[in-house]
Amino acid sequence: MIQEDTISAVTTAPGNAAVGIIRISGPDSLKITNTIFFAASGKKLEAYPSHTMVYGFIKDKNGTDIDEVLTVYMKAPRSYTAEDVVEIQCHGGMQSLRHILRLTYTCGARPAEPGEFTKRAFLNGRIDLIQAEAVMDIINSKSSAALKIAVQQQEGFLSGKLKGIRKELKDVIVHLEAVIDYPEEDIEDVTYNEVTEAIRKAEKETENLLKGAHTGKILKEGLRTAIIGRPNVGKSSLLNTLLKEERALVSEFEGTTRDVIEEQLVIGGIPVLLADTAGIHDTEDFVEKLGVERSRAFLDKAELIIVVLDGSTPLTLDDQSILDAVKGKNAVYVVNKTDIAESKITDKIAEHIPRENIIEISAKTKEGIDLLENWLQEYVYGSNRQSDEEIYIQNERQISLLRQAQESLNDAVDAAENRLPYDCLTIDVDRALTLMGEITGETVRDEIINEIFARFCVGK
């Protein structure tokens, strides 16, 4: 679906830099470039092999030099958009970029819309919708693990898995429709057991893909985590230790932290949105009371709670109140100050909390911090640490559609087990096929496509 018009935009980030890039894509990209670019060799761009970097100058209509540039012409379909593409590398000052961009508009290009280059790559069949969405995931990656997953998606890992599942389901529908349409013909016998087995296999493969969804979302968006505890148990010391800097004020006096301090960091390859909260306890101080209220409110926002306890003293009523408040929530219990004395409370709290969720540390000496990092990795990855074969879906749209597809496959299995007419099975399987097609872009509506690419930045 090659577009009839030609677009151009700056593809590098705004602001002054050493190099800036302007991309032109469409049928007139070469014609437009030849109007404003003059190679030092005196040759036209088409005289060089495709993808050759050519040195020269951008000139305006009066022949005045605008900038010294390198220009490359990428002949369709071997380009980002699968169209004729030209990229001009100039100096990265905004004046130079704007001037050259205006010249491309004057010569017939129009301003590219947000995400339009990637949208053209999708519409022209060079990539599917999963790969297109992976482009933004690569740009917005918060950790090396998130980047690795996004690159896998762009390379077609998830697309390949879904293609295989869809083929299996298409085969099921072909057999079912043959039996429905030609019951008198001598067609391969399709029993309910065989159909159930095929659909259940596809459902299991879908379930396996969804197992990594929780991990994928955390690696993409970050693990929202709250550090809570009564005053002076070492919450701020733990935050500083994890950050490897003195971010929070540490004092021997209670109530030093009176508000929520939020920081972003990467722990063991996992992006974490970490909040150090005010100590939770009964207080008459108005400002401190506000901090305690904000701390309690933050518990509902956090996916994971790090409960910090002072291992050098017995449990207090404030400790018990906090333990009661986090019941039923995802939490790890950190017994701090093991450098002062052997923990007096670990065995006590282990009576009510799984021992593997209790970690003894010293925020001061950093002893046990590695155990906390290992626990976080286990929480995020489960028993499956990231590998080249594991697929983690990061995109909420894809996760939602895949869950709906799994529900349709479950309905199809139920229909087969209850010996409902083949038509009922076909409806459920066909819906699962359509939903999976929406993930890859094969059956998605135009308005959804436009909405997805509108989230991209201009120039991508």
Is 24:71 a contact under the CB 8 Å cutoff?
no
Alpha helices in 302-395, H assignment, sequence order = 317-325, 346-349, 369-381
Q: Which residue has the tokens 């990637």?
A: 118
- pLDDT of amino acid 446: 87
* Nearest residue to 84 (alpha-carbon basis) of 94, 93, 71, 75: 75
- pLDDT of amino acid 276: 77
Helix (H, G, I), strand (E, B) or coil at 416: helix
CA-CA distances (angstroms) from residue 103 to 32, 58, 59, 65, 305?
9, 9, 9, 12, 55
- pLDDT of amino acid 344: 73
- pLDDT of amino acid 254: 44
- pLDDT of amino acid 294: 62
Angle 168-439-151 (CA atoms, 0-180°, nearest 5)? 100
Phi-psi region of 42 (alpha: psi -120 to 50; beta: other; left: phi over 0): left
* Nearest residue to 332 (alpha-carbon basis) of 295, 306, 363: 306
Q: Is the dihedral of CA 350, 352, 358, 361 positive or negative?
A: negative
- pLDDT of amino acid 371: 94
* Nearest residue to 459 (alpha-carbon basis) of 80, 82, 179, 142: 80
For residue range 313-342, list pLDDT tens digits in order.
888 888 888 888 888 889 999 999 888 877
Residues whose CB falls within 8 Å of the CB of residue 252, separated by 6 or more in sequence, listed in order = 232
- pLDDT of amino acid 457: 86
Phi-psi region of 446 (alpha: psi -120 to 50; beta: other; left: phi over 0): alpha
Is 154:126 a contact under the CB 8 Å cutoff?
no
- pLDDT of amino acid 19: 94
CB atoms under 10 Å from CB of 348, counted, come to: 14
Give how far the C-alpha of residue 91 lies from the chain's centroid of Cα atoms, to the nearest Å. Answer: 32
Domains plus CATH for the chain? Answer: 7-128 (3.30.1360.120), 134-212+393-441 (1.20.120.430), 219-381 (3.40.50.300)
Angle 246-286-253 (CA atoms, 0-180°, nearest 5)? 40
Which residue stretches of the chain have pLDDT < 70? 1-3, 182-191, 245-260, 277-298, 383-389
